[in-house]
Amino acid sequence: MNEVPETDQRCGFVAVVGAPNAGKSTLVNALVGTKVSIVSPKVQTTRFRVMGIAMVGEAQVVLVDTPGIFAPKKRLERAMVAAAWGGTNDADHICLLIDAAKGYDDESRAIVDKLKETKRQAILVLNKVDLVKRDKLLGLTAQLDAEGIFTDVFMISALKGDGIDDLLAHLGKLVSPGPWMFPEDQVSDLPQRLLAAEITREKAFIALYQELPYSLHVETEKWEEKEDGSARIDQVIYVERESQKPIVLGKAGRQIKSIGASARQELEELLERRVHLFIHIKVREDWSEKRGHYSEIGLDFDS
């Protein structure tokens, strides 16, 4: 499977952590070079750990995209934060991503305090530096460096791709000698069915930004390979109340058609083939309190 000798291979896990909306998923996608984790302007879009796999020469860097870390109130939020810290605890290295435009806020400070408590060091990655004046950026860097837990500092714009190559090269040097954990051409640990559901959830999050997203869940119910090489994908968007169905449908069904069209287009680009996407809306009352839902996406119901 692998062309390089096993003794020359390197591999390691790097957790990407940070407050909600710091840009973690955007960074992981940029480092991998393709989309493995969904992105939206809404905070807490990522609900579970997603692994993105980046190759740097003979080094395989397994990036663990984690949910945003914040003070949770609901069961789903507690499970998301537990998954984030679980990804950090299991990783060989940690990148703490901080939104430079927001600065060193309370959420980032709480993460730093937790890393201190667990005696973990991290690489400081300041994101969105293109939005911050140089003097403010230098002051922020000095403030964070004084915490004493950062081994290196990188300034990037995950959205624009600035600084990504330098960060990836550094991570490639950090990981330890050892066999690769995944095939060389694999970019994520997500099964295609789950990735497809996540893409539709992203489009719904974007379309329903002000109205619904946290009450919404998407599942791929059926995946059929067609003789012409295309794929038929049947999905269900679950909402928690009957009154939420019309919001997803939109007037004359225009909202759900728009969500489906956007999802289908991206799926065709990712799968490099034609996709027939069929989306239905169903009510699953209080899905965020159902134990089975958590096991499906790898979250701990009892967190």
Residue 216, pLDDT score: 82
CB atoms near residue 142 (< 10 Å): 9
Residue in this structure with the two tokens 């955007």, named with its chain if needed:
26
pLDDT per 10-residue tile (average), the chain, 303 residues: 64 90 90 79 55 93 74 61 66 94 92 91 96 94 96 96 97 96 87 88 84 75 94 94 91 95 94 94 78 59 55
The answer on whether 23 is annotated among ligand-binding residues is: yes
pTM for this structure? 0.75
The answer on whether 229 is annotated among ligand-binding residues is: no
The answer on whether 33 is annotated among ligand-binding residues is: no
The answer on whether 39 is annotated among ligand-binding residues is: no
The answer on whether 12 is annotated among ligand-binding residues is: no
The answer on whether 42 is annotated among ligand-binding residues is: no
Select the CATH number that applies to the domain covering 10-177 from these four: 3.90.1300.10, 3.40.50.1400, 3.40.50.300, 3.50.50.60.
3.40.50.300
Residue 4, pLDDT score: 47
The answer on whether 18 is annotated among ligand-binding residues is: yes
The answer on whether 148 is annotated among ligand-binding residues is: no
The answer on whether 61 is annotated among ligand-binding residues is: no
CATH number of 192-297: 3.30.300.20
Q: What share of the chain is helix, strand, coil (3-state, %, to 5)?
A: 40, 25, 35
Tell me the C-alpha distance between 201 and 208, whole Å: 10
Sign of CA dihedral 92, 155, 32, 274: positive
The answer on whether 259 is annotated among ligand-binding residues is: no
Tell me the C-alpha distance between 92 and 86, whole Å: 12
Residue in this structure with the two tokens 């945003």, named with its chain if needed:
68
Strand order in the sheet with 216-225: 216-225, 231-239, 275-283
The answer on whether 46 is annotated among ligand-binding residues is: no
The answer on whether 66 is annotated among ligand-binding residues is: yes
The answer on whether 123 is annotated among ligand-binding residues is: no
The answer on whether 129 is annotated among ligand-binding residues is: yes
The answer on whether 67 is annotated among ligand-binding residues is: yes
Residue 83, pLDDT score: 63
The ranges assigned to domains in the chain are 10-177, 192-297
